[in-house]
């Protein structure tokens, strides 16, 4: 695994990531009893899109992919470089693919 490199996501990769994120976030809130199954996808979409209003071009948000020559994309990280008035970065999500 010495050939791992990082790079920005493509639009297609972002679209797939966004959909997986919405589905997982909705399911987590349903399991926790916070949201009804009927409203969960709408609420998860609203919250996700509020954080990423311009998709990959959203200021202070970084979405990077990790890949190898042999396997292609092996993971994704979503990091906010600022959180309102807080100093530092915030990791929203890390995905590692099988």
**Whole-number pLDDT of residue 88:** 83
Helix axes 11-32, 37-51, angle to 10 degrees: 130
Phi, psi of 19 (to 5 degrees): -65, -45
Residue 21 neighbours by CB under 8 Å, 6+ apart: 48, 78, 93
Q: What's the rounded mean pLDDT across residues 76-98?
A: 87
Residue 10 neighbours by CB under 8 Å, 6+ apart: none
At 28-64, the pLDDT tens digits run: 999 999 999 999 999 999 999 999 999 999 999 999 9
Residue 47, domain CATH? 3.40.630.30
Residue 26: which domain range? 5-96
Note whether 30 and 77 are within 8 A (CB): no
pTM: 0.87
pLDDT band at 83 (very low <50, low <70, confident <90, very high): low
User: What is the number of domains present in the chain?
Assistant: 1
């Amino acid at each position: 695994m010495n050939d791992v490199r990082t790079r920005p996501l493509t639009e297609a990769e972002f679209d797939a990531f966004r959909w997986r994120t919405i589905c997982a976030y909705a399911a987590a809130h349903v399991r926790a009893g916070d949201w009804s199954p009927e409203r969960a996808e709408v609420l998860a979409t609203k919250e996700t899109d509020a954080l990423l209003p311009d998709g990959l071009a959203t200021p202070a948000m970084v979405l990077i992919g990790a890949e190898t020559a042999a396997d292609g994309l092996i993971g994704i990280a979503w990091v906010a470089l600022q959180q309102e008035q807080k100093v530092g970065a915030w990791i929203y999500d890390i995905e590692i693919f099988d």
